[in-house]
Chains A and B, each alone.
Chain A
């Protein structure tokens, strides 16, 4: 569906995307994980045929985005990072108007709109204005709008950024259904839980480059340990590196963060016993499963959400 080799995007002196390779297969849910400014959105805009690559090769649905942009866009669904719904149109009109841009007939537009409103659970708001909708509803409407042309690929740029937890879960559930229908999803996120929930395969981006690629599980297995022991010590921030030194050898790796020390281990409880045996008394200790956050920390030395 999507194929890129050595893809580069520069804005003046600034290199937003610095030579990435990727391939997305039909039916796949593919994610770009990385902090703000990693180059995810720039990559998405190139895939959406609204931004011209500076260098490298890019094929979407077997076509060249510069030459065949219009034909490619006809088969894409785009949910941008900033909602750009029409505030002066009703909820349904937002969908029908958009459907007409794809050349759908009036009747077909109405049929698709009603069907999609059902799908994103907004049927009861169909005749109302967009303004009073909550952030989660607006995002669902934008996703419905992206589906209006029955696209082969749906591009979602930060689909749940700025939403409350409940709205996020509802959205994830809808996106999961979409995936089950066989729609190819490409999404960017800086939330590791979102990437774990939705993506079959993902690339971790940092500074415009891809630093790792694989399924969430495989990435965790490769770049982290099954469990992580999080320790907090009472005497404050500056002491964490010293504690880290004293924890050397307890796990595969030790990371002192400003507020806590992470110990990467096979078995958290065993490791905690070892911590106590060494005479250390953390004010709190937490054993948890490894996440993509740990993968990212390991790969870049930084946390995802600052």
Chain B
């Protein structure tokens, strides 16, 4: 029963645990990961959009669809990497149970990431399906948005997991949400072009992985090219994902050491 080094099996076993848990919780998550983004689209996209003419040459609804899409992935990735990760260290001690087995920190991190990508893809696909009926997609390139969202998930969730594995009190999460999640969602080009921001704030938006994903998704659904060259956007997201993965594995290992 010796598990070979580098085998994917332990990662899949960790993914299996998350999926088993999710089978019990999925109804509750339908609201937050599907209904809420649609409500957002109705209120801002159609409600407010009625007062907005066109933005960058398209109607406002079509303009914010890719933004809401990416920000849904962003919020889900961040939200599901906080309490649940800290909880599995602190209260459930599931990671302590795993560390007594051949499962290694890298498997724990990768298993969780795969689970989040699964969750994100489920919401993204459902959202896209709704948006088609509103006529919010303008190019077959829209088919690559799930890939962009998967990349965004890794770029967001990995560093947040590293953070969650290092702290000891969940009150830090409220600050993460209020000072990172909400500002990113509101100012990283989801609802209005970042060109409207002052130069300093625009730099912050550029720093956020969300803006790069929004640009890529918007380019895809509208069938045009993004603000910066595609490899730059993708590379920046990959950088966050790789750095986050490295830090998360290190934080997990440290937390489980004694």
Contact = CB atoms under 8 A, between A and B. Distances in A.
A127 interface: no
A103 B1 contact: yes
Nearest to B104: A70
- Interface residues of B toward A: which range? 20 to 34
B27 interface: no
Contacts of B92: 84, 86-88
Given A50-B256, A70-B3, A97-B20, A86 B100 contact: no
Interface residues of A, number: 32
B17 interface: yes
Interface centre among B1, B20, B21, B101 (most CB of A within 10 A): B101
A102 B101 contact: yes
A48 B96 CA distance: 12
Contact of A50 (B7, B10, B20, B100): B100
A84 B96 contact: yes
Contacts of B102: 70-71, 73-74, 101-103
A45 B258 contact: yes
Interface in A1-32: 11
Interface centre among B14, B98, B102, B104 (most CB of A within 10 A): B102
Interface string A74-94: 111010101011111100010
Contacts of B99: 50
A149 B21 contact: no
A163 to B, nearest CB: 19
B8 to A, nearest CB: 11
B193 interface: no
A86 B20 CA distance: 11
Given A71-B2, A74-B1, A98 B101 contact: yes
A100 interface: yes
Contacts of A74: 1-3, 101-102
Interface in A103-118: 103-104
B101 A73 contact: yes
Nearest to B21: A88
Contacts of A104: 1
| Residue from B98, B100, B103 having most chain A Cβ neighbours under 10 A | B100
Interface string B145-156: 000000000000
Interface SS majority for chain A = loop
Interface string A35-62: 0000000000100101110000000000
Interface in A131-150: 145, 149-150
B93 interface: yes
A83 B148 CA distance: 40
B21 A98 contact: no
B94 to A, nearest CB: 6
Contacts of A93: 20
A101 B103 contact: yes
B254 interface: no
A73 B3 CA distance: 10
B24 interface: yes
A82 B9 CA distance: 27
A127 B13 CA distance: 20
A145 B93 CA distance: 15
A97 B13 CA distance: 7
Contacts of B50: none
B5 interface: yes
Given A70-B102, A74-B102, A97-B17, A103 B3 contact: yes
B104 A51 contact: no
B1 A51 contact: no
B44 interface: no
Interface in A199-218: none
B24 to A, nearest CB: 7
A136 to B, nearest CB: 19
A76 to B, nearest CB: 7
Given A88-B24, A103-B10, A80 B16 contact: no
A131 to B, nearest CB: 12
B167 interface: no
Contacts of B5: 70
A169 to B, nearest CB: 26
Given A70-B3, A85-B97, A97-B17, 4 more contacts: A73-B102, A75-B1, A97-B13, A100-B17
Nearest 8 A/B pairs, CB to CB = A84-B93, A100-B13, A78-B100, A101-B101, A84-B97, A74-B102, A101-B103, A70-B102
Interface of A: 11, 45, 48, 50-52, 70-71, 73-76, 78, 80, 82, 84-89, 93, 97-98, 100-104, 145, 149-150
19 contacts: A11-B258, A45-B258, A50-B258, A51-B257, A70-B102, A71-B3, A74-B2, A74-B3, A74-B101, A76-B100, A82-B93, A84-B93, A84-B97, A86-B17, A87-B92, A93-B20, A98-B101, A102-B102, A103-B9
